């Protein structure tokens, strides 16, 4: 068959060359423009910023006290006066949510820091020193991964006693394993790079090489994981609070708020629903943000 015969067969979809460039060129602008074009991502940032604002300066967001209620106004439905309504003791639920952010988010931050710190060190040591250290560390990590993390956290809190700090510790311990895994994988890749070998060759000591070259180049993925884990940790902290492992009742805490409202939810639906929605929004928003951060890194 000659080329001509071959090519006389018409095929659908032939297009002149310069059909598309203008459409393609405007696809990406700078970062802020991109944010505006993604309303969900923008909303996610707003939600997280508001939640952080609640945790840092609760007084700016509400004039009510989270502890003192107006006994005459118990179970008031949401209104202009009480945005989220009031609970059994007439306490403003919005105020309790705002002040609860501090308890919950502090515990979450602590949990992620513990997991990040301890997990990275374990992963670093395992990946860098290898051999027997690696085998032992990774088998321990495997055991941790085999236990459902919430169950593990409950065991830790039961042993240490009920308090918000212990919840933070428990949630942190339960996600050490995944940080260790990711860090180890990154360290193994970096250690194989020529520049690490080059550092040895120049006479840089093993420890100095680890600190100066291996750690900075391995941390990227672990930081991305921390963003993902943050959302999970909010949920874990609130779950333990809901189950009553955390702060004692008068203290506002998101999980506890949902638990307190649960008894009356059939008659006064706002009591559990509105704090629950606030919690869900924060978790979803952090997830959305961490996804976009990961994509950003891949570019």
| CB proximity list for 218: less than 8 A, separation 6 or greater | 124, 127, 183, 186, 187, 189, 190
Residue closer to another protein, measured from CB, 57 or 200:
200
Q: Which is nearer to another protein, 6 or 159 (CB)?
A: 6
Tokens of 9: 């067969």
- Neighbour-count burial of 53, counting CB atoms closer than 10 A to its CB (0-12 exposed, 13-18 middle, 19+ buried): middle
- Phi, psi torsion values for 188, nearest 5 degrees: -60, -40
User: Least distance from C-beta 220 to another protein, angstroms?
Assistant: 10
Separation CA 190–CA 221 (nearest Å): 12
Q: Which of 23, 26, 63, 267 binds another protein (CB under 8 A)?
A: 26
* Residue 82, token pair as written in the block: 């009480």
Contacting residue, 156, 199, 272, 274, with another protein by CB under 8 A: 199
In 3-state terms, what secondary structure has residue 176? helix
End-to-end CA distance of the chain: 46
Nearest CB to another protein, comparing residues 49 and 208 = 208
Comparing CB distances to another protein, the nearer of 197 and 262 is 197
What's the closest the beta carbon of residue 117 comes to another protein, in angstroms?
21
Neighbours of 188 (CB within 10 A): 16
Q: How far is the CB of 155 from another protein (least distance, A)?
A: 40
Looking at 200, 249, 262, 280, which residue binds another protein (CB under 8 A)? 200
Among 31, 72, 80, 194, binds another protein (CB under 8 A): 194
Show the site string, 29-68: x = touches another protein by CB under 8 A, - = not.
x---------------------------------------
Span near another protein by CB under 8 A; candidates 17-25, 171-179, 224-232, 251-259: 17-25
Looking at the Cβ atoms of 4 and 139, the one nearer to another protein is 4
* Least distance to another protein, CB of residue 184, Å: 20
- Specify burial of residue 119 (Cβ count, 10 A radius: 0-12, 13-18, 19+): buried
The CB-of-9 to another protein minimum distance in angstroms stands at 7
CB of 205 to another protein, least distance (A): 7
By CB atoms closer than 10 A (0-12, 13-18, 19+), residue 15 is: exposed
Helices (H) and strands (E) in the chain, counts: 15, 0
Q: Per CB under 8 A, which region of 10-18, 154-162, 170-178, 279-287 contacts another protein?
A: 10-18
What x/- string results for residues 210 through 239 when contact with another protein is judged by CB under 8 A?
Answer: ---x--xx----------------------
CA 281 to chain centre: 12
b/e code 157-180 from CB counts within 10 Å (16+ = b): beeeeebbebbbbbbbbbbbbbbb
List interacting residues with another protein (CB under 8 A): 1-4, 6-7, 9, 11, 13-18, 20-21, 24-29, 193-195, 197-206, 208, 213, 216-217
């Amino acid at each position: 068959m000659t080329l001509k015969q071959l090519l006389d067969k018409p095929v659908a979809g032939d297009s002149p060359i310069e059909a598309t460039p203008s459409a393609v060129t405007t696809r990406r602008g700078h970062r802020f423009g991109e944010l505006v074009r993604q309303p969900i991502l923008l909303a996610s940032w707003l939600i997280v910023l508001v939640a952080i604002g609640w945790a840092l300066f609760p007084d700016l967001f509400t004039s009510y006290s989270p502890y003192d209620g107006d006994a005459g106004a118990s179970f008031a439905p949401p209104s202009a006066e009480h945005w989220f309504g009031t609970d059994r003791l007439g306490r403003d639920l919005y105020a309790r949510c705002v002040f609860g952010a501090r308890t919950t988010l502090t515990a979450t931050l602590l949990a992620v820091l513990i997991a990040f710190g301890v997990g990275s060190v374990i992963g670093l040591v395992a990946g860098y020193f290898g051999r027997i250290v690696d085998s032992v560390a990774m088998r321990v990590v495997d055991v941790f991964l085999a236990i459902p993390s919430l169950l593990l956290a409950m065991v830790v809190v039961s042993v240490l006693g009920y308090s918000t700090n212990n919840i933070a510790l428990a949630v942190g311990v339960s996600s050490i394993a995944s940080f260790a895994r990711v860090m180890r994988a990154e360290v193994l890749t970096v250690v194989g790079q020529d520049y690490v070998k080059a550092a040895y060759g120049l006479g840089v000591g093993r420890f100095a090489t680890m600190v100066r070259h291996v750690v900075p180049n391995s941390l990227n993925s672990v930081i991305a994981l921390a963003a993902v884990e943050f959302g999970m940790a909010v949920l874990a902290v609130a779950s333990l609070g809901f189950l009553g492992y955390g702060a004692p009742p008068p203290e506002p805490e998101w999980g506890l708020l949902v638990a307190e409202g649960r008894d009356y939810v059939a008659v006064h639906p706002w009591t559990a629903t509105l704090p629950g929605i606030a919690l869900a929004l924060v978790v979803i928003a952090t997830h959305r943000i961490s996804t976009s951060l990961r994509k950003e890194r891949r570019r």
